[in-house]
Amino acid sequence: MAALATDRRTRTIMTIAACTALFAAVFAGAWLYGDSGEVTRLTLRKLPPDFSHPFGTDWLGRDMFARTLKGLRISLFVGLSAAACSAVVALVLGLAAATMGKTVDAVVTWLVDVAMATPHLVLLILISFACGGGAKGVIIAVAASHWPSLTRVIRAEVMQLQSSEYVMLSHQLGKSRMFIARRHMLPHVIPQFIIGLLLLFPHAILHAAALTFLGFGMSPHTPAIGVLLAESMRYLSMGLWWLAVAPGLTLVITVKTFDILGSNIRALLDPRTCRE
C-alpha cells in the first residue's frame, strides 16, 4: 500500500512537472521567435502546414506557428492576471463573510447570488466595454465575474473552522476577528486558494479568448488567440482550415493542461487525498 501511494505521488509530481515544462516552452518559444510572426512575406501567402511552417502561413505570408505562440503567451498573461485578481477577491470576500458577522455574510452572499444569476457572457461584455476593451478591459471583466464560486468554497471552509477548539479559544481570549482571520483562517484556506486559482485559469483563458473573438477584447493588431480565430473565419470558406484549427487546438490543449495541473496539485495538497 505504501509503495502504491509513493508511486501515485511520483506520477502526480511528474505530471505537474510536465505541465509546467509545457508552459515554460510556450514562453520560451514566443521569446525566441520574437516579432517574426508580424513579418509579412507575400511570396509565402496561404501555405498549408509543412516542415518549415508547422502551422502554415496566413493571407499575408506570416508564420502562424510564431503568431500562435505569441498569442498563447498573451492569453497566459491575461488569464493569469485575471485569475489572480479574481482569486484574491474571492479570498477576501470569503474570509469576510465567515468572520465579520451576519451582516457582512448577508451582503457577500447577496453579491455572490447576483453575480451568479447574471448571464456570464453578457456581464463579461458589459464590463469589458465599459472599461474600454484591450488587455485591461479583458482582465477587469474576467476578474470581476469569476470570483463567486471560489468565494463560496472559501466561505464554507472558514465556516467549518469556526467551531474548532483553537478558534473558540481565541474568541475566549479576546482576540479580534481580524486577528483570528489572519492567524487561524488564512493559513488553512491557502491550499484551497491555490487550487481555486489554478482551476480559475482555464475559464479565464477561454473567456478572454471569447471576448476578443467577439470584438470586445484585444486590439485586432494584437496576435491574441481570439484575434487569430476571428480573423480566420473569413478564410475558412477558401479552404484555409489551418488558420482556425492550429490556434484553436493549441488553446484547447493549453486549457486542458491547466485543468490537469490543477487536479494534480489538488491531489497533492488535499489532506483527504495526499495519503491515498
* pLDDT tens sequence across 13-69: 787 788 788 888 888 888 887 777 777 887 888 888 888 888 888 888 888 888 888
The rounded mean pLDDT for the chain is 80
- Phi and psi at 63, nearest 5°, equal -70, 120
Contact status, residue 120 vs residue 145, Cβ threshold 8 Å: yes
Give the rounded percent of residues in the chain with a pLDDT score beyond 90.
0
- Select from 255, 252, 248 the least CA-distant residue to 55: 248
pLDDT digits (tens, 9 = 90+) for 231-267: 888 888 788 888 888 888 888 888 888 788 877 777 7
101 torsion bin: left (phi>0), alpha (psi -120 to 50), beta (else): left
**pLDDT class of 270 with cuts at 50, 70, 90:** low
Grid cell digits, residue 83: 485569475
> What ranges do the domains of the chain cover?
2-34+60-269
Closest CA to 100 of 177, 205, 17: 177
- The end-to-end CA distance of the chain, in Å, is 9
**Three-state DSSP class for 133?**
coil
Let me know: does 130 contact 116? Beta carbons within 8 Å.
Answer: no
Sequence letter at residue 52: S
* 87, 191, 192, 269 from 266: Cα distances, Å: 16, 8, 8, 5
The predicted pLDDT at position 252 comes to 86
Q: What is the mean pLDDT of residues 111-131?
A: 82
Query: Which residues sit opposite 63 in a β-bridge?
Result: 57
Torsion of CA 228, 235, 25, 222, to 10 degrees: -20
Statement: residue 93 has pLDDT above 60: yes
Q: Considering the entire predicted model, what is its pTM?
A: 0.79
* DSSP for 170-210, written as a single string: HHHTT--HHHHIIIIIHHHHHHHHHHHHHHHHHHHHHHHHH
Q: What is the pLDDT of residue 215?
A: 77
**Joined grid coordinates for residue 266:** 489538488
For residue 218, the model assigns a pLDDT of 75
- Measured CA to CA, the distance from residue 103 to residue 100 in angstroms comes to 8
pLDDT at residue 226 tops 60: yes
Identify the pLDDT of residue 272. 54
Q: So what's the pLDDT on residue 197?
A: 82
DSSP 8-state symbol, 57: B
* Residue predicted with more confidence, 127 or 134: 127
Query: Which is more confidently placed, 8 or 22?
Result: 22
Q: Could you tell me the three cell numbers for 79?
A: 488569464
Whose cell is 463560496? That residue is 152
Mean pLDDT of 169-190: 75
Question: Cβ distance 25 to 38 under 8 Å?
Answer: no
Alpha carbons 152 and 116: distance in angstroms, whole number: 11
The CATH number assigned to the domain with range 2-34+60-269 reads 1.10.3720.10
What's the pLDDT at 3?
A: 54
Q: pLDDT band at 87, cuts 50/70/90?
A: confident
134-143 vs 64-99: helix crossing angle, rounded to 10: 40
Question: Residue 179: is its pLDDT beyond 80?
Answer: no
The band of 158, judged by pLDDT with boundaries at 50, 70 and 90, is confident
As a whole number, mean pLDDT of residues 118-140 equals 81
**pLDDT band per the 50, 70, 90 thresholds, residue 9:** confident
Residue 6 is predicted with a pLDDT of 62
Res 5: pLDDT? 53
Residues 6 or more apart from 254 whose CB is under 8 A from it? 23, 26, 72, 75, 76, 205
What phi and psi values does residue 57 have, to the nearest 5 degrees? Answer: -125, 160
190: number of Cβ within 10 Å: 12
